[in-house]
């Protein structure tokens, strides 16, 4: 399905293998104003943090990053809709999941620089986690987190909890065996999980159509007997609508959902990707997607709805730029762990009786 076919729509995948548009009016009524502005703030934090890290990498600072510039309308929005007690299971791309789940810029940056004041005392780096906000660690094995999320969901169900688990993965990971196993287990047991796949059209440098047998990943929901949705991932409001539907379903004990956002990364796959124009995609393609920028679109909607003024929007950007600068200074000045610290927290220090 082409991008143009989903603009303005959320497509529901039903058991007749048809794609039916879910009514979507692009209206902001019914949403909390402060929540809407907070989501914009999180999207801007994600964008500016990515940009700052890219600059630091050019200056020789050792940080591992897979940028999400261009994808802020997807994962950042989805994780911003969770409650603090809900669980988040991230993938390898970006920091929108961390920002959306409530982690601070200072401690994120400190962890990425390997400093002791970071979320994992500098020992996790990009594979960070935060127990206080129920953010599970970023696992290095692609797709494995889909099965891990099933374990979290099973635990929540066994505890009769009303909390849910949001699991993020990419189009490449959707083809891993872990993904099918995890979603099948979740479906059989009606676990409170929202499976959220960002389809940015490329698995590293390989076009999506060369690696995946279906046009729409959401079609695979039919094989598990769960709802599947395709949504314009550049449209934050559309993403909010479909994720909220899936969260409500999970909280009500109705089981998991599979959401596929059609989105796009403006930059290369990682710092090693030096030919993101022309090596495997054209500058014209990238420029076309940049015209659908999720932050510009969402900001304009808030301004038109009189939720925020143009000046307030610019002031917000200026404030976040300042917070990014403070975070870099905080992380740069912080101390590294001591040699003996690296051997701590490897094993549980408390005896467990069986």
pLDDT (tens digit per residue) in 174-229:
888 888 999 999 999 999 999 999 998 887 777 778 788 888 999 999 999 999 99
Q: Which CATH class is domain 3-343?
A: alpha beta
CB 202 within 8 A of CB 234: no
Round to whole Å and give the CA distance between 129 and 138.
7
Task: Give me the catalytic one of 3, 24, 277, 280.
Answer: 280
pLDDT at 140 over 60: yes
Q: What percent of the chain has pLDDT over 70?
A: 92
pLDDT (tens digit per residue) in 215-243:
899 999 999 999 999 999 999 999 999 99
Residue corresponding to tokens 């999180």 = 42
CB 265 within 8 A of CB 68: yes
Q: Structure tokens of 116?
A: 């002791």
Q: Specify the pTM.
A: 0.91
CB atoms within 10 A of CB 118: 23
pLDDT at 164 over 70: yes
Q: b/e per residue, 243-253, with b = 16+ CB within 10 A? A: bebbbebbeee
pLDDT at 52 over 90: yes
Distances (CA, A) of 145 to 95, 149, 151, 170, 278: 16, 6, 10, 11, 32
Helix (H, G, I), strand (E, B) or coil at 280: coil
CB 245 within 8 A of CB 238: no
Which of the four pLDDT bands, split at 50, 70 and 90, describes residue 271? low
Backbone angles phi, psi at 194, to 5 degrees: -110, 110
265 is catalytic: yes
Q: What pLDDT sits at residue 275?
A: 59
Q: Where are the alpha helices (DSSP H) in the chain?
A: 3-6, 33-58, 75-80, 96-100, 105-112, 144-158, 177-188, 221-224, 236-251, 283-290, 294-304, 310-333
pLDDT (tens digit per residue) in 316-334:
999 999 999 999 999 999 9
Task: Give me the catalytic one of 47, 269, 281, 301.
Answer: 269
For the ranges 66-75, 105-114, 201-210, the one whose mean pLDDT is highest: 105-114
Task: Give me the catalytic one of 92, 265, 281, 301.
Answer: 265
pLDDT at 1 over 50: no
∠ Cα 78 146 204 (to 5°): 80
């Amino acid at each position: 399905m082409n991008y143009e076919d989903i603009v303005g729509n959320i497509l529901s995948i039903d058991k007749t293998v048809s794609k039916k548009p879910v009514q979507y009016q692009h209206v902001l009524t019914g949403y909390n104003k402060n929540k809407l502005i907070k989501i914009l703030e999180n999207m801007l934090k994600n964008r500016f943090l990515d940009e700052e890290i890219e600059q630091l990498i050019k200056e020789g600072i050792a940080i591992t990053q897979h940028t999400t510039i261009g994808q802020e309308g997807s994962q950042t929005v989805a994780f911003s809709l969770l409650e603090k007690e809900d669980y988040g299971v991230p993938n390898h791309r970006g920091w929108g999941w961390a920002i959306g789940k409530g982690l601070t810029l200072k401690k994120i940056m400190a962890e990425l620089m390997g400093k002791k004041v970071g979320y994992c005392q500098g020992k996790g780096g990009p594979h960070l986690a935060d127990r206080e906000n129920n953010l599970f660690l970023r696992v290095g094995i692609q797709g494995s987190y889909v099965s891990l999320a099933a374990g979290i969901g099973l635990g929540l169900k066994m505890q009769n909890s009303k909390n849910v688990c949001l699991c993020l993965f990419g189009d490449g990971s959707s083809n891993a065996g872990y993904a099918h196993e995890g979603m099948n287990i979740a479906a059989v047991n009606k676990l409170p999980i929202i499976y959220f796949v960002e389809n940015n059209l490329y698995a590293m440098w390989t076009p999506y159509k060369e690696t995946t047998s279906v046009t729409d990943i959401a079609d695979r929901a039919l094989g598990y007997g769960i709802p599947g949705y395709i949504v314009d991932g550049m449209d934050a409001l559309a993403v909010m609508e479909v994720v909220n539907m899936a969260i409500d379903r999970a909280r009500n004990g109705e089981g998991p959902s599979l959401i596929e956002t059609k989105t796009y990364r403006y930059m290369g796959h990682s710092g090693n990707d030096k030919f993101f124009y022309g090596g495997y995609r054209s500058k014209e393609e990238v420029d076309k997607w940049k015209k659908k920028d999720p932050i510009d679109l969402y900001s304009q909607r808030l301004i038109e709805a009189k939720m925020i003024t143009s000046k307030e929007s610019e002031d917000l950007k200026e404030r976040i730029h300042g917070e990014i600068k403070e975070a870099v200074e905080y992380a740069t000045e912080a101390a590294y762990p001591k040699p003996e610290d690296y051997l701590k927290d490897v094993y549980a220090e408390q005896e467990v009786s069986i």
